[in-house]
Chain A
Amino acid sequence: MLKILKYSFYDLMRSRWSYVYFVFYLLLGVVLLFLNNNLSKAVITLMNVIIVLVPLIGTIFGVMYYYNSKEFTELLLAQPLKRSSIFLGQYLGVALSLSMSLILGLGIPFVFYGLFRSNDIWDFSLLLITGTFLTFIFTALAFNIALSNENRIKGFGYAILLWLFLAVIYDGLFLMSLILFEDYPLDKLSLFGTMLNPIDLSRTLILLKLDISALLGYTGAVFKKFFGTNFGLIVSIIMLSVWVVLPVLRIVYKSNRKDF
């Protein structure tokens, strides 16, 4: 598995798209920092970018990589290798290279700006951690979609739809249901709703450290307990890990049964 991982990783490192992705984040970081002159405001803007763009790029890139390397995958399948290690190797290769572009691209300008001397280093590391989680989650979801769909166009369609659903439509439905049931106690429902969507989950996780905690305390005791303490942070991170593990397990399951 490590060999395949290494191969996919180097293959992607040489590809143009990794550089484009890296340079995009580098530019974003530089522009935000040197136009804004305010580290903590830059962190908020970056959060908006990360929770929208990272999943999108993760999904598209994952699907694209799977379809493009299909012939090579079939060649590998002819060798005496475990199927799960082939697909997991590829998945980890994609996810790691994307995460690396993200961390280096955003990290370098912030380090030059003087991150280590600033108090915002925790907010920023949390941002990078959730960004990495999101990359792993959405690449895994993309591999799932690609494994289940032979048709490329369909695969891409589903991938985009998945992103659109989790990034935008889900929140709309969520908001509607909250307003619809406003006569009932909603705090548990809304916490539950957040847990079910990795994008919402990462957003609240970052906002916990920024501005939401006191605003949420305003709403009720359950929120206050959840968001006012480290309990919320720990539960959110566990949920994000679950969000990585479940799709990965499905990759293993699906790849073992798939007929190529």
Chain B
Amino acid sequence: MKKGFISLIIIFCASVLNIKAETIEVCTTCKITSIKEAIAIAKDFDTIIVKKGTYYEYDIVIDKPLTIIGENYPVIDGKLKGEIITIHSDNVTVGGFHIINVGISYTEDYAAIRIVKSKNFIIQNLKLEKLFFGIYLEKAKEGKILNNTIIGDAKQEYNSGNGIQLWYSKNIEIEGNYVQGVRDGIYLEFSDFCNITNNISKGNIRYGLHFMFSNNDVYKGNTFENNGAGVAVMFSKKIKMYNNTFKENWGSASYGLLLKEINDAEIIGNTFEKNTIGINIEGTNRINYKNNDFIRNGWAIKVRGACYANIFSGNNFLYNSFDLSYNSKMNDNVFDGNYWSNYAGYDLDKDGIGDVPYRPVKLFSYIVNRTPETIILLRSLFIDIIDFSEKVSPVFTPDDLLDNNPSIKKIEW
């Protein structure tokens, strides 16, 4: 009886030892010198630690739940041969690598790291350079992409990839990444319920962040600077955009934020500074714009048409060349209680609200819409005179487009 009990304990311990995750070390002078080898001999839930060094490997397939960590940023060089890491398993953690030289192809989207149909993964602290696609999520769920640095050297749209791309993915958290010099910094296609927080996306050729057919996503606290266009949100529903900064997206066709065919979104607390066009909206409905700062943009908001039931309230429009541009006489949007630095009214009853309504659309912005070259007359005395006469009796601009309660002081929140 006693003997049997001891043997039972021994068997139990042995089995515990057996399932206990092992740590496998990889380095250039170790027994195991490649990551592929380490993955081949590893069992489920093992940890692979890769020491500093350069590993010339590509097509690394991770097909079991593993934690692979680089110490002191070991370099994985793909020698431009193809994809570098592909993850086919749930519960994988990859972190701490410096991955360079991803293959470029016109038929396949090679990525530095691709996650295929997996759950609960964490991709963190990677440095990606000389890449085609950076981190590519394909039908992945419940994962995290944290604190990666992606620096591309894209020159043209047709032969470059995206920094972080999500395709049919759900519940992904993207936080603290830095993306620069790729086509789209972060690209979401058919991806719902994702959180994109505190990233910096800078100097990308197309968009800093791009949504396509993606719903219920939230992005907040991000900075989009000097991209072809800051953020493009297209054909999407219920996107929440909070406290982001869009700045210096400056150039012939640059936008801070481009909205096309999107419904029921919230745009709150963002800063748009020095963009050629702060927000360009086309075919958007029921969007709530609140407490945003528009500072020194060419056009703060450009409305292209088919925009209904949008509400703009409590925003600051500061020193923009044009506050608002409309291309039709129809208006179904509400402007209420904003601060306009161009407002010239008065406040006799001292309630902080101007007594005369403000007309944000000037005749000149209507003319510029029609004949863009006339912009050369900006700030001319003649233009001021016709703007004034249009303000007194609107003929060309929508006559019901008014802010009835313009704030006298800059709005703080």
Residues of A with Cβ closer than 8 Å to B?
A: 40-41, 44, 47-48, 51-52, 167-169, 171-172, 174-175, 178-179, 182, 186-187, 189-191, 193-194, 200, 203-204, 207, 211-212, 214-220, 223-224
Contact = CB atoms under 8 A, between A and B. Distances in A.
Nearest to A41: B319
Nearest to B380: A171
Interface residues of B, number: 27
B375 A179 contact: no
Residue from A51, A169, A175 with most neighbouring chain B CB atoms (10 Å): A175
Contact of A218 (B276, B296, B370): B276
Contacts, number: 93
B377 A175 contact: yes
A51 to B, nearest CB: 8
Contacts of A218: 252-253, 276, 298, 372, 375
Q: Which label, helix, strand, loop or mixed, suits the secondary structure of the A interface?
A: helix
Contacts of A214: 250-252, 254, 276, 298
Contacts of B383: 171, 175
B276 to A, nearest CB: 5
Contacts of B321: 211-212, 215
A224 B382 contact: no
B33 to A, nearest CB: 53
Given A187-B373, A214-B276, A219-B373, A179 B381 contact: no
Residue from A179, A194, A214 with most neighbouring chain B CB atoms (10 Å): A214
Interface of B: 250-254, 276, 296, 298, 319, 321, 367, 370-385
Contacts of A187: 373
Contacts of B371: 178-179, 182, 186
B252 A217 contact: yes
A233 to B, nearest CB: 15
Given A48-B379, A171-B381, A203-B380, A215 B298 contact: yes
A232 to B, nearest CB: 11
A134 to B, nearest CB: 14
B370 A216 contact: no
Contact of B377 (A47, A171, A189, A223): A171
